[in-house]
Structure 1
């Protein structure tokens, strides 16, 4: 579905730099600083703070929001880490519907769930598409002192109206897991233009230490969730190729769109612009009369590794059902979309021949289903 890519030239640089890391500084060294500075420059954002995972970035963001309330609204269609970061930070996740047009958080459903306990809203830019209502969310949150957090795990390099994902809310959280658009092996990044948030995140990732003090003074509850030097090196190398990675993903997505936009039974996700999306995966909504599982089985039998986004939705995950009593029927739109969508592979290592094979395979897979 997705595959990390390092060229032979990249591997040589990594090998040489790892030798230096092993003989010098394994943690809190020059590579982390270089990666943070490069990421900050790429996004034109005031602060970029490297952590060991996107989950840790989300935890830091939610922990900062905790003084504002006790609840965080999130889409039920997202990775478990989004909800778990809220719960482990001592707040309650409030699950909201996704839009059937974009699979991103539905604006109107969300604002009706806001109350005096709402500390933050987390928008998830699903599959590399920036939430189209992001500016509406920002205005709404600013007017109510609610923190707007972007789960931008899928969207390094994606934009909305030429503004980078991760800079549209108060905080952006990125993932560098091997299957993502960029990888550092494991890792994440928190971005913000707010100096107070940045100071909090720096402290949070260092067990709550006051980073302005010359002695070991701990001012807030925190964790040891810094990014290691070797991970930062991998991330920095990958970041230098981001434009190339995005160009290839967009080429593949353009081919999919041109072949599938008029195929009966298939509905493509609404896009503001191909050139503004990062296409972690390529989602397609199926008509209700098509058997999604059979189509996936057919594709797998053809040798195409298609899958779904995140299924079941968070409110139907046993851990959250047990904690919060959620059940089937709570979010009918989300439940419906998750039962009739598929995601096609879309990554830089795909050849034109492989892309054509995926296209012909899906057309064959939906016949007589």
Structure 2
């Protein structure tokens, strides 16, 4: 490694004040012995619902659980659910675990989000609903079109908002745009609880079912009234989430500042295409993606890590339909979704988190430019 500096692609952030508060409240929890089924989860749910401007929020132990609970509520067994191929595998696998079949849709090259036109092409009598992924923290710009399409066809529409904590479109928060939203609080996310997830919805019936389903299908009297699982969030997890949520707007503001610095520094590069955010959207920048033009992404990522200590990422390559399991079991194949296949192999994500200072961002840009020059000279 030419430079011993290490720049992680993602890392959680806790300021000193939050750490002190979290530790103090965890001490109270430990002394009380109430590590589950206490007030902290309820408080976190209430604050998250208030933040997202939704009527209900139901805490669970992962973003995947949030998706699976909603899909079970909507009854997808034996039916199809359209999902973008540009997503983490948890999105389509949640459909499978509910007895449904994921049908992959292509993306729009300029946003990396699901293409409504391809969704229309995939609709048939077996379609139960659609999952729209707010990729990298960009709310799907066509979310209103998708909502109208689903409404007119009697379909549900779920937001996979695992990347989009604090994102906004037309003054409405992610998680409050469709039938339900699924958030993840994994350590790399815009806000974290370590592990955890949240369902947001304005549907009281969905919220009630979710509350039962996350706890083995038990009602408030501890009588099993439906099939459920152990998807509950712990009290300690909720405490961490409460402090992260209190700082979420500041987190998003800082991520946007880093993104703007990258934008300004990279705008004139002939080897890089930047993704633009529509004026009516506040991006949460879970990831900072860019597209390399005619440059081998894998070579760039390798050199950045090994020579400059800079970790990078992708969203997502290979796309879901090219993972071996889906190719074997759903008979997807190369060429099915050409835009995703062409674009995503050229998308690289630069480090973005609250540990990125202006100096670090400049180091990342300078290192990237050096790598691009080196790889270009090899041609």
Which TM-score tier does this pair reach, normalised by the shorter chain? over 0.9
- Corresponding residue for 2:252? 246
- Corresponding residue for 1:21? 29
Counting only pairs closer than 5 Å after superposition, residues 85-164 of structure 1 correspond to structure 2 as 85-164=94-173
- Corresponding residue for 1:203? 212
State which of 64, 72, 78 in structure 2 corresponds to 1:55.
Answer: 64
Alpha-carbon distance in 1 for matches of 2:182, 2:155:
17
Alpha-carbon distance in 2 for matches of 1:150, 1:261:
31
Alpha-carbon distance in 1 for matches of 2:273, 2:170:
24
Runs of 4+ in structure 1 displaced over 6 angstroms?
none
Task: Give the deviation of 1:219 after TM superposition.
Answer: 2.5
For 1:21, what is the secondary structure of its paired residue? helix
- Corresponding residue for 1:227? 233
Task: Give the deviation of 1:11 after TM superposition.
Answer: 1.5
Task: Give the deviation of 1:274 after TM superposition.
Answer: 8.9
| 1:274–1:259 distance in 2 versus 1, CA, 3 Å | farther
C-alpha contact 1:57 1:190 (8 A) present in aligned 2: yes
1:81 aligns with 2:90: yes
State which of 148, 152, 175 in structure 1 corresponds to 2:184.
Answer: 175
Provide the alpha-carbon RMSD of the alignment. 1.4
C-alpha contact 1:62 1:89 (8 A) present in aligned 2: yes
| Cα deviation 1:195-249 (Å, max 9, x = unaligned) | 11111111111112234xx3x3322221110111111110111001111111110
C-alpha contact 1:132 1:272 (8 A) present in aligned 2: yes
State which of 294, 298, 318 in structure 1 corresponds to 2:299.
Answer: 294
Q: Which moved more, 1:200-209 or 1:121-130?
A: 200-209
Alpha-carbon distance in 1 for matches of 2:49, 2:226:
25
Number of equivalences: 365
- Which segments of 5 or more consecutive residues in structure 1 lack a partner in the other structure? none
TM-score by length of 2: 0.93
Q: Which moved more, 1:7-16 or 1:278-287?
A: 7-16
| Cα deviation 1:258-304 (Å, max 9, x = unaligned) | 122221121111311497010011000122x2111111122222222
Alpha-carbon distance in 2 for matches of 1:159, 1:123:
15
TM-score by length of 1: 0.96
Alpha-carbon distance in 1 for matches of 2:281, 2:120:
29
State which of 191, 197, 204 in structure 2 corresponds to 1:188.
Answer: 197
Task: Give the deviation of 1:365 after TM superposition.
Answer: 1.6
Alpha-carbon distance in 1 for matches of 2:98, 2:77:
13
Alpha-carbon distance in 2 for matches of 1:362, 1:133:
32
C-alpha contact 1:184 1:234 (8 A) present in aligned 2: yes
| 1:360–1:274 distance in 2 versus 1, CA, 3 Å | farther
Alpha-carbon distance in 2 for matches of 1:302, 1:11:
31
- Corresponding residue for 2:15? 7
Alpha-carbon distance in 2 for matches of 1:122, 1:165:
13
Task: Give the deviation of 1:55 after TM superposition.
Answer: 0.3
C-alpha contact 2:79 2:126 (8 A) present in aligned 1: yes
- Corresponding residue for 2:5? none
For 1:207, what is the secondary structure of its paired residue? coil
- Which segments of 5 or more consecutive residues in structure 2 lack a partner in the other structure? 1-8
Alpha-carbon distance in 1 for matches of 2:366, 2:266:
10
